[in-house]
Structure 1
Amino acid sequence: MASRRTRRTLVSAVAGGLFALGVVAPGPAAAPLPRAAQADGDVAPGPRDPRPPLLPADFQGTGRYVVRDLGIDVPFSWQGRDGDSQMTAGGPDHPIWFTNLIYGNTLYTLTYKWPNIPLFPPRACSKVPGFFNRQIFNDKLKTARFVGPEILQGDHDRRVDHWRVGVVGGSTVPGEFFRFPLALGDIYVDQRDPSRWWQVLQFGLQNLFDPELDEWFTMDTFDHRPGQVTLPDRCPPPTS
């Protein structure tokens, strides 16, 4: 996504994709990097046909948003209701604070705070041009490539399927014309339920505020109860 206003679209296009941008800023000690261990031996699941990630219509989850090279590890929430969805990282008392939404067939991103980036006067809400909704997002996820089964190690080890999805600009004929990567996401979903998301690494043009061009979110909880999705007052009305 090339300015922070247009950031986070896959997850803002992958999450919505993968959602949506560098300065080197001093920060506290680096936050721990989420870890994934390859499943093998006795813990490996049996043969099966893995299903690609799916964003459900109704869900709510909480976790952490990690920008490791800036030493940032802040609260994160992701909620969905009736096909709309909203991600929120940090808050007014944290070093970063932004929200991304799929709302009324429209993709939005709004960054309130980012280290050493002047958002003064307050940055306007970015309404990404075009029609975008959960179905378009899920159709893109169907093109994801299966990397393999893994175990995410943490307080609760989770068996997940690791998928990779990307967006590339330029010619669709490799070698004929110049092509360039726009976004790439590694997505880790529950092996038994691919609509239950546990971790995402996203990087590319959508992360240009981050010196290392990568940002993580990891979920501690994720269930299918309808969440709360609220369009900020400064965001323009959705596409009809």
Structure 2
Amino acid sequence: MVAAVAGALFALGVVAPGPAAAPSPRAAQADGPTAPDPREPRPPLLPADFQGTGRYIVRDLGIDVPFSWQGRDGNSQMTAGGPDHPIWFTNLIYENTLYTLTYKWPNIPLFPPRACSKVPGFFNRQIFNDKLKTARYVGPEILQGEKGRHVDHWRVGVVGGSTVPGEFFRFPLALGDIYVDQHDPSRWWQVLQFGLQNLFDPELDEWFTMDTFDHRPGQVTLPDRCPPPTS
């Protein structure tokens, strides 16, 4: 689950359960002559206050469920599915702490009481946005659909092991493809996340796509079963 491309990738997981096959990408390069783009695109930014709705997709499991992402005063919460859907989880950045709680996932025995995972260490929106500043710009694209949204495509990753490429063993932990509005990089429209944060998904990759994304304060609620945040 995303929990944490917003935490893991995002401590870039932001942190979803496991394996899934990704849907066919909805993004397509804009047609027309290849003229130089004079824009200086800004990397993705997670705003302090926002609310959006869309779909969470685990293609290899045939799952396509409602998804919401909300932020308030720098805290944020993702929720996919619900009690009437085949998957149901929530991921939070809450008071400098990263959480993920999975209620339901196909073929995974989640015996009660289902634990809420508090990722060790200090993590907040500023740390997340600092990581997003290292994202690589892929290019301008159009998300095909009713809206035909013009987006900037970015890629961000996390690698474990040595910081010296080629000298010692290194291994990829997480990778995210992020599609944000060309005029407002704090407006997110689509994310593909791949990596260890998707451990419940057989193919280790999951999508979310947004139908709405507004800069109005949302509602962020830490579930009762989650331990209190760090001080």
What is the TM-score normalised by the length of structure 1? Answer: 0.88
Cα distance, 1:221 vs structure 2: 0.1
Cα distance, 1:42 vs structure 2: 6.5
Cα distance, 1:174 vs structure 2: 1.0
Partner of 1:139, secondary structure, is: helix
* Residue 155 to residue 45, structure 1, CA distance change in 2 (3 Å): farther
Aligned to 2:217: 226
Q: Deviations over 1:23-50 (max 9, x none)?
A: 9999999996341100131698942100
Partner of 1:16, secondary structure, is: coil
| 8 Å Cα contact 2:20-2:206 kept in structure 1 | no
| 8 Å Cα contact 1:108-1:128 kept in structure 2 | yes
**Percent pairwise identity:** 93
Aligned partners of 1:175 and 1:60: how far apart in 2? 42
Q: Deviations over 1:140-159 (max 9, x none)?
A: 00000000000000121100
Equivalenced residues, count: 231
Aligned partners of 1:81 and 1:27: how far apart in 2? 27
| 8 Å Cα contact 1:28-1:71 kept in structure 2 | no
* Residue 213 to residue 27, structure 1, CA distance change in 2 (3 Å): closer
| 8 Å Cα contact 1:145-1:164 kept in structure 2 | yes
**Bigger shift: residues 92-101 or 208-217:** 208-217
Aligned partners of 2:8 and 2:68: how far apart in 1? 15
Cα distance, 1:209 vs structure 2: 1.3
Partner of 1:151, secondary structure, is: strand
Q: Deviations over 1:212-231 (max 9, x none)?
A: 11100000000100000000
Aligned partners of 1:25 and 1:161: how far apart in 2? 24
Cα distance, 1:211 vs structure 2: 1.3
* Residue 228 to residue 45, structure 1, CA distance change in 2 (3 Å): farther
Partner of 1:18, secondary structure, is: coil
What is the TM-score normalised by the length of structure 2? Answer: 0.91
| 8 Å Cα contact 2:14-2:91 kept in structure 1 | no
Cα distance, 1:12 vs structure 2: 3.2
| 8 Å Cα contact 1:98-1:113 kept in structure 2 | yes
Partner of 1:61, secondary structure, is: strand
Gaps of 5+ in 1: 1-9
Task: Pick the aligned partner of 1:22 from 10, 13, 33.
Answer: 13
Aligned partners of 1:237 and 1:28: how far apart in 2? 29
Aligned partners of 1:75 and 1:97: how far apart in 2? 10
Cα distance, 1:75 vs structure 2: 0.1
